[in-house]
Amino acid sequence: MFLLGVATLLFLAVYWTIVPAPWRRAAFSATSIAVLAAYFPVAAGAIALLTVLVHLALAPSGTRPDWGRAIAVVAGCVALLAARGSETMTALRLLGLSYAVFRLIHVAVERARGRLAVEGLLPFLEYVLFPPAFLSGPIERYDEFQRSIDVSRLDLDAAFWGTRRILFGLAKKVFLVGALETAAERGFGDASASAGTAWLALFSYSLYVYLDFSAYCDLALGISRLFGFRLSENFRWPYLSADIGEFWRRWHITLSLWLRDYVYLPLSVTLSESQKLRRRPLLIGSASAIATMVACGLWHGNTPSLAFWGLGHGVLLAGHQLYRQLVLGRLPAKRRKLIATNPFYRIAATGVTLFCVTLLWVFFRFPLGESWRFLVKLFFLSSAVVSTAPS
C-alpha cells in the first residue's frame, strides 16, 4: 500500500508537469485501469467485457432511441445481480459489479429516453471502470461525469481540497475504523455478553459502517480531484438526520438518487395509472418506497436478511410519509413551523432516527435467523448465542 501511494505521487507529478494536456485524460484512464486490472484482473476484465457488450447492444448515437434494446440491457444487468449468489459468480468475486450494473442501466435508460448520447466506446469504458469509484462508488451520471472533467491545469484550491479530503479519509481509516470494527466484533462474538455490551457492539458497528464507507469515498473524491476529475458527494453527516427521509438524502446520496429516478418514480407512475390507486397517492408513495428499499437491500446482496434490512427502511419511509401527511399536514402552518424550528424536537427526532437506523444494521450484519436472536438479546429477553458470520 505504501509503494502504491508513492507511485501515485510520482505519477501525479509526471501527469501535471510532463504529460501534455490533450493526453492527460487518456494517460490517467489507461494507467489507473491497468492498476485496477493488476489488483482485480477477473473483475476488471469481466466488467470491461460487459461494458463492451452493452455498448454494442445500444443503438449508435444519433439514431432513434430503442426501448427494446434498453429493456434487454436492463434485464441482463438485473439477471447478473440475481446470479451473484451462485457458486460460479461467488468464485469469480466480481467486485464492483453492482456499481457497474447501475451505471450501465442508467446509460441504457437515458439513451432510450433520448436524453443521452454516448459518443464512443473508450469514454464509456472510462466511465464504467473509473478506478477511484470502481469498488464502492459514487454512482455518477454519465453526462455529469463527462462535464466534471478538467485536466487543463491543477489550481491550488483543487490541490488543497483533494489533499485535505485524502488525509481526512486516511485519518478515519487509521484512527477510527479499525478500533470500531474490533469493538463491534468482540461484542458480537461474546456469547455471554450482556445486553449493554450487545448495544455497545451494535452502535460501534453502526459507526464503523458509516466511517469505513465514507472514508473510502473521501479517498475516491480526493484522488479524483487531484487528477482533474470531480466526483459527486456521497455522504453529508447522515447520522445527524432528523427523519428517515433526510437520512437517505444524506446517506449514499448517489445511490439514493439512482433508486429515486430508476425505481421509485417509475413504479409510482405505473401504480398511479391504476384506476383504483389513482386517488390514493399516499398508498402509492408508501408501496413504492417499500418496494424500492427492498430492491436496495437485494442490490447489496441476495440474502433474506438484506431484503429484510431494505424492508425495514421501506416501512420507516412509508411511516414517515404517513406522519407528514396525516399528522404534521393537518396542523396549522404556524404550528408546523414552530415544530420544525424547535431544537429539542430536532434533537429528539435525530435520536429516534439514529436508533432505528442502527437497529436495522443488525439485519445487514447477521443472517436472518441470527438477527432475530441478537434482537432478543438486545432487549434483555435472552442471552442468545450469536455467531460472527456476516450475511
At 119 the pLDDT is 79
pLDDT, residue 386, reads: 47
What range does the domain containing 282 cover?
A: 238-378
Query: Does 244 share its domain with 115?
Result: no
Cβ-contact 104, 73 below 8 angstroms:
yes
Residues 6 or more apart whose CB falls under 8 angstroms from that of 102 comprise: 139, 255, 258, 299
Residue 123, in any domain of the structure: yes
Note whether residue 206 is domain-resident.
no
Query: Are 248 and 366 in a shared domain?
Result: yes
147, 179, 214 - which closes a domain? 147
Domain end among 147, 177, 197: 147
State residue 286's pLDDT score: 96
How many structural domains is the chain composed of?
A: 2
Question: Does residue 219 lie in a domain region?
Answer: no
210 half-sphere exposure, CB direction, 13 A CA radius: 19
pLDDT at 98: 95
How confident is the model at residue 390, as a pLDDT? Answer: 46
Task: Calculate Rg over the CA atoms of the chain.
Answer: 23
pLDDT of residue 387: 47
User: What pLDDT sits at residue 62?
Assistant: 56
Of 106, 252, 300, 320, the active-site residue reads: 300
Burial class (CB in 10 A: 0-12, 13-18, 19+), 169: buried
- Could you say which of 91, 124, 147 is where a domain stops? 147
Asked whether the beta carbons of 106 and 197 are under 8 A apart, the reply is no
Question: Are residues 369 and 248 part of one domain?
Answer: yes
What interhelical angle do 41-57 and 67-82 show, nearest 10?
160
Residue 254 falls inside a structural domain: yes
Do 137 and 250 fall into the same domain?
A: no
Residues 26 and 129 in one domain: yes
Let me know whether 247 and 359 are in one domain. yes
Each residue's pLDDT, cut to its tens digit, for the chain (391 residues) gives 677 778 889 999 999 999 999 999 999 999 999 999 999 999 999 999 999 999 999 866 556 668 999 999 999 999 999 998 787 787 778 899 999 999 999 999 999 998 888 878 999 999 999 999 999 999 999 999 999 999 999 999 999 999 999 999 999 999 999 999 999 999 999 888 899 999 999 999 999 999 999 999 999 999 999 999 999 999 999 999 999 999 999 999 999 999 999 999 999 999 999 888 888 999 999 999 999 999 999 999 999 999 999 999 999 999 999 999 989 888 898 898 899 889 999 999 999 999 999 999 999 999 999 999 999 999 976 544 444 444 4
Task: Quote the pLDDT of residue 385.
Answer: 45
Residue 180 resides in a domain: no
296 within a domain of the structure (yes/no): yes
Asked whether residue 262 falls in the same domain as residue 143, the answer is: no
In a domain, 90, yes or no: yes
Instruction: Confirm whether 300 is a catalytic residue.
Output: yes
Indicate whether 169 belongs to any domain.
no
